[in-house]
Amino acid sequence: MSPRPKVGLEITAILDVAGKIADVQGMQEVTLANLAKQLGIRPPSLYNHFDGLAGLRKKMAIYGINLLYEELAHAAIGVAGDEAVLAISKAYVNFARRHPGIYEATLMAPKMGDEEVQQAGAKVVELTVTVLRYYDLNDDRALHAVRGLRSILHGFSSLEQRGGFKMELDLNESLVMIIKAFIHGMRDI
């Protein structure tokens, strides 16, 4: 049986504060002590919501994946084909730009095989597969394409966050060119 949460302290509000800490200071600063301090509570109170730091990280991962999914789903509304792939790609990179710590949290679940984390991630995969159905890819090929697109977007986001793009070229233009090359490549597989 899980512990009862403190009245008035909602999990979403806690995760919002944890997300702000992560985005400003980095995920390494999202600790029970720092979170409690920001919330104006004592650290033991957080054990009503999380099973220690590992539980907090798991909830942060799910929270971040759900936020990312919402952004991607919103970007995909009313578009199809190349336009949809470009829209969700831009939304992914912009999410990582606006929420660098929360984005990092999506990759840091203590147990990536955890069922709740997998369910959250499956929504993102299913959305991407739906967008890629335009290209008549079968199930396995669609999943390979999802992996490829995620690799491109994660690589681009990670390099950008770490200052890996020093040239005076428009990053958004680079992203569009890369995604167009990916789209062109999908037509040839």
Is the pLDDT reported for residue 58 higher than 50?
yes
pLDDT score of 4 more than 80: no
Q: Which amino acid is at 110?
A: P
Whether residue 136 lies inside any domain: the answer is yes
| Residue 108 or residue 26, greater confidence | 26
Whole-structure pTM value: 0.90
pLDDT above 90 covers a percentage of the chain that reads: 78
The answer to whether position 63 is within a domain reads yes
Q: Indicate which CATH number applies to the domain containing 134.
A: 1.10.357.10
Q: Which residue range forms the structural domain that includes residue 127?
A: 54-187
Q: How many domains does the chain have?
A: 1
Structural domain contains residue 37: no
Q: Is residue 96 part of a domain?
A: yes
**Residue 41 is assigned to a structural domain of this protein:** no
CB 69 within 8 A of CB 127: yes
pLDDT value, residue 130: 95
Q: Does a structural domain hold residue 115?
A: yes
Neighbouring residues of 13: CB distance < 8 A, sequence distance ≥ 6 = none
Q: Supply the pLDDT for residue 114.
A: 86
Establish if 127 belongs to a structural domain.
Answer: yes
Question: Residue 110: its pLDDT value, please?
Answer: 63
Alpha helix (H) ranges present in 40-138?
A: 52-76, 81-98, 100-106, 115-132
